[in-house]
A and B are shown apart, each in its own frame.
Chain A
Amino acid sequence: MGSPCHFALFDLQPSFRLDLEQLAVRYRDLARTVHPDRFADAPDREQRLALEHSASLNEAYSTLKSAPKRARYLLALSGPELPLEVTVQDPDFLLQQMHWREELEDLQDSADLAGVATFKCRLKIAQDELHESFAVCWDDSLRRAEAERLMRRMQFLDKLSHEVRQLEERLDD
């Protein structure tokens, strides 16, 4: 589909570093102009156009405001399409993944809510560090392979934080 680039929609240059507050402000301004509520009493055609515009605006916003999605989108913009799931050649990180998972399982077995909270804090720090590494790496066009590896790491940590949330829900029963 010939849809415009997510960054262009917000009148931004493709970049990993992004001021999320500003993005939110701009999103709200744009949403005000294209939201179907502005066209609730307009003819069907205007309503349909507004629906399409709003849907792509929401899609763009949800991609850009999430760091792993933004990283993946940037890589896709500049190179061949990336498969969603691949076996990553990243032995160091593989080991770290196993540690994270084991820890999470232990927390589940012991139903340790305080432990979960600490785990969440550490996860957040690891994510922030990873975002910074990606940002630095992204600025250097020669380090694309490394950028892709970092993006995969970001995806994993994102998935892990989902699992933490699911664990919290199970422990809430």
Chain B
Amino acid sequence: MALLQIAEPGQSPQPHQRRLAVGIDLGTTNSLVAALRSGLSEPIADAAGQVILPSAVRYHADHVEVGEAARLAASADPLNTVLSVKRLMGRGLADVKQLGEQLPYRFVDGESHMPFIDTVQGPKSPVEVSADILKVLRLRAEAALGGELVGAVITVPAYFDDSQRQATKDAARLAGLNVLRLLNEPTAAAVAYGLDQHAEGVVAIYDLGGGTFDISILRLTGGVFEVMATGGDSALGGDDFDHAIAGWIIEQAGLSADLDPGEQRSLLQAACVAKETLTSCATAQLSHGAWQGQLSREQFEALIEPMLARSLKACRRAVRDAGIELEEVQAVVMVGGSTRVPRVRQVVAEMFAREPLTDIDPDQVVAIGAAIQADALAGNKRADGDELLLLDVIPLSLGLETMGGLMEKVIPRNTTIPVARAQDFTTYKDGQTAMMIHVLQGERELISDCRSLARFELRGIPPMVAGAAKIRVTFQVDADGLLGVAARELASGVEASIQVKPSYGLTDGEIARMLQDSFKNAGDDKVARVLRELQVDAQRLIEAVEAALQADGERLLDADERLAIDAQMQQLRELMVGNDGLAIEQQTKRLTQLTDAFAARRLDATVKAALAGRSLNEIEE
């Protein structure tokens, strides 16, 4: 029998092993995964050497096909092939139709307001489709890196609202990924550039992807990336260029706009090819059915001019929001495949009066930056000792519905996250005992112009005369940009709390069912998986407490506290090797409670140490 290897307490078995973590750019048109290897962040290729995975998913009766093959089948099998699913994430069907797109799918209703796409495999939510893309990338990374991933940083457009972010996080969960952070795409690009060029000062990131546009203004100071303002349009991208060309063809060829799904797809593909041709050629030949024609670069530029104008307007607004003037921007970085269009580069250069940077491949830069951040978040120290810090903001104001259908802002856009802010409200009728809280996101005054995130009810308010009750609603936005809301009546202490499950998100029931389905498909034993998760949680807690004890145990704990913690750790260690899930869960919880005060003391001590690190003569002027 082989002897079991047991590491010395307080040390991990392989102290120098890097913890594997990846950055994933889940794009509208293309997706990719990157990781830090030998100190260098680079995309991971598949077995055929391809780095880019087209974000296309085709459902067959018995299997799922993701990538180039699926993309090519789009016109032949339009109903079972999903392209640009990112545009559907966290949106209702009405929103999607409002985007003015003709989508070649059959939609069916789900429990929530999310549009489900009817395929040969049954109805698929956009979250599941995205999860299928993420799964392929996870497997690719695990094969290349040779181990299970600690977690992933998934990038999202900075302008994504709460529903869209939540949907992305749900998709990652469904794909079996531990999300270390949702990171804004322009911020990820800034990390890639900033570290590469040791940049300092104010930088603008112009990110025009397949389906979304973001502009972020950042200040870079010694490894700190501070987002000053962000703006954009979560429904503007290269896809719209294709649609504009397709519309032009329909007009030129005198077609009816009511095309069947297959025809629509082949028309859009032809449009996309023409767009790419015009990057290097002055004209592009087009044909559709019997019709043949020619599109010049000038004509194309005229077609996309209104969209470019929209993007430039968003840039000016972001600069104003940052409280600076255009001239103060010291560098402009181009991100996203659509910035290959020469006219895009031209208009951006004109506005900022400087040549934009394009050194890092605009399709890869986001994933490269995300991988750098993922590596740091997984607890690996950077080789050069520079610790990164990303301070991001919320892109859209958050607020509540008040009397008369108006929105009362509680957190204005471009506030640094994490943030927690409270607002007090009162009753408007005598004896009122319940209150509906409607959470909104957007910049307009009328609630009908804002996005509804969620509604929840606060019940049990003690009956009082109108205006006497005082209800405090607290908004909290975490580092992923996700919102949590809590409400409490101050006199009675009645509390209602929700994690905002967006109006357009999946219900908890739907997610649970999808998770179960994915276990079934993977041939996983659900019980074994749950046990494994509990063991991992317990292990993680023990490691954290061990490290904390080693660093500060002497200083911050008295003998009794120390004894109690040591005993509890020993008990959990013994349980962990067994398979009594319930006991592991309970004892993990107990260890957490037992070390709560210690954890709080440590954080306070760190804060004090950070202040003490500054020399005293700086303190007073």
Contacts and interface: CB of A to CB of B under 8 A. Distances in A.
Interface of A: 10-13, 17-19, 22, 25-26, 28-37, 40-46, 49-56, 58-59, 61-62, 165, 168-169, 172-173
A22 B600 CA distance: 27
Interface in B508-540: 537, 540
Contacts of A44: 592
A142 B299 CA distance: 71
Given A12-B619, A41-B378, A62-B415, A35 B479 contact: yes
26 contacts: A11-B611, A25-B614, A26-B611, A28-B221, A28-B224, A28-B226, A28-B389, A30-B607, A31-B389, A31-B391, A33-B610, A34-B607, A36-B418, A37-B390, A37-B479, A40-B151, A40-B378, A43-B537, A45-B592, A45-B595, A45-B596, A53-B603, A55-B419, A56-B420, A62-B415, A165-B321
A46 B377 contact: no
A32 B421 contact: no
Query: Which of B19, B540, B596, B599 has the most CB atoms of chain A within a 10 A radius of its CB?
Result: B599
Interface size bucket, B side? Answer: 35 or more
B313 interface: yes
B541 interface: yes
Contact of B603 (A13, A28, A32, A50): A50
A53 B599 contact: no
A37 to B, nearest CB: 6
A29 B417 CA distance: 16
Given A37-B389, A41-B150, A172 B420 contact: no
A28 to B, nearest CB: 5
B504 to A, nearest CB: 25
Contacts of B377: 37, 40-41
Interface of B: 19, 150-151, 180-181, 221-222, 224, 226, 313, 316-317, 320-321, 373, 376-379, 387-391, 415-421, 476, 478-479, 537, 540-541, 544, 592, 595-596, 599-600, 603, 606-607, 609-611, 613-614, 618-621
A163 B379 CA distance: 45
Contacts of B180: 40-41
A37 B376 contact: yes
B420 to A, nearest CB: 4
B477 to A, nearest CB: 8
A31 B390 CA distance: 10
B277 to A, nearest CB: 34
Contact of B544 (A10, A13, A29, A42): A42
B221 A54 contact: no
Contact of B320 (A56, A169, A173): A169
Given A30-B610, A33-B610, A54-B479, 6 more contacts: A10-B611, A33-B609, A35-B479, A37-B181, A42-B544, A53-B603
Query: Which of A10, A22, A41, A50 has the most CB atoms of chain B within a 10 A radius of its CB?
Result: A41
Contacts of B600: 49
B621 A17 contact: yes
A26 B619 CA distance: 10
A171 B321 CA distance: 15
A75 B150 CA distance: 49
Top 8 A-B residue pairs of the complex, sorted by shortest distance between their CB atoms: A40-B377, A55-B420, A36-B479, A11-B611, A33-B610, A55-B418, A54-B418, A33-B606
A10 to B, nearest CB: 8
Contacts of A45: 592, 595-596, 599
Contacts of B618: 22
A45 B609 CA distance: 21
A33 B607 contact: yes
Contacts of A58: 415-419
A36 B417 CA distance: 10
A29 B613 contact: yes
A17 B620 CA distance: 10
B221 A169 contact: no
B318 to A, nearest CB: 11
Contact of A11 (B416, B603, B619): B619
Given A31-B389, A55-B418, A55-B419, A41 B614 contact: no
A43 B592 contact: yes
Contacts of B544: 42-43, 46
Contacts of B224: 28, 31-32
Nearest to B609: A33
A26 B221 CA distance: 13
A50 B607 CA distance: 11
A22 B478 CA distance: 26
Contacts of B537: 43
B228 to A, nearest CB: 12
A46 B316 contact: no
A12 B618 CA distance: 10
B219 to A, nearest CB: 9
A87 B414 CA distance: 30
A172 B610 contact: no
